[in-house]
Structure 1
Amino acid sequence: MVRSVVRLITGAPGAGKSTLLGRLRERPVTVVDFDELPDDDGRLLGIDITSPDASGIWPDYNRLWVRIAGMLARGGGPVLVSCPITPAEWEAAAADVPDAPEVVWARLDCADHDRRVRLAARGWSAEQVEEAVRDANELRELVPTAFTSSDRAPVEVAEDILRWITDSPNA
């Protein structure tokens, strides 16, 4: 039996994931985001899962997403999941999920200067911005396939990612 394949795209805050996902939702691909399940206040089933205080349940949340991705992939079409986790975190979650889908990773990135400007415009503190820059550097080491949003229109980035999704084996 051939396992379903899901494309995962990660990226540190400010890379442009939300903008990209809006563009890809207009295309023939199922696109979902880890940030879609919680309410606007970060709550899921009454728990603020976006708070660092909730880090103890993040592995359970990741397992939930592995299951969701597998269910979506059974539909047969291309699936893209935007997630803020590392490949190791996904693998740890998938280890406990029967019939977890096969995954192919990519990273949405931008120049550190662009990330700083984007996050400052959101009102992030200097400390939060620098943490996002550190996260981006870590992801650069972990996920070699990358798409940049710096100096590019969102539609261009979306087209490149759509080609990556649909031109890959087992799309």
Structure 2
Amino acid sequence: MASLRFYVATSLDGFIADEEGSIEWMGPYDARLYGYDKFYDNVGALIMGRRTFELIHATADVWPYRGKLVYVLSSRKLGTVPEGVIAASHGIRAAVKSAGEATRKDIWVVGGAVTMQSALDEGLVDLLEIFLVPILLGRGLTLLNDLRQRQSLLFDGIEAFPDGVVKLRYLVPKA
């Protein structure tokens, strides 16, 4: 059965991007060293917010999620999109349901904060993998905004890498 997963890097002070939405600060850190390829091979679909989609689509030379289904949460038409991108106008629960019907592999909630927060608030998330990157940004886009309720997590492991990156893994208990 597919899991709904967060797999995200954050600065030590809790930011997933700088004020402009850029993740260039992660440039010195090669995601392949932290198991990204294995993770990505187990992903069949991605869910992201419109702003995240637009930023990636506008700045990537090549669409990085080719061959995967990508559900973009948006109440407006998306315009020209890469192959495999699907507008999801009925909310995150409907997008997760559609993704789960389309693949037996895991579903990755890519972001941003509102999308991730919605997935948590709806009780849809199974696993969080958070990579703490040894940098302090001071300001930017936060990992999460305001959750509707506090959520306890079950610790499932930690891994430290020689360059100072630390991977924290948590399971989300179901009610």
Shorter-chain TM-score: what band? 0.3 to 0.5
What is the TM-score normalised by the length of structure 1?
A: 0.40
The structure where helix makes up a greater share of residues is 1
What is the TM-score normalised by the length of structure 2?
A: 0.40
The structure where strand makes up a greater share of residues is 2
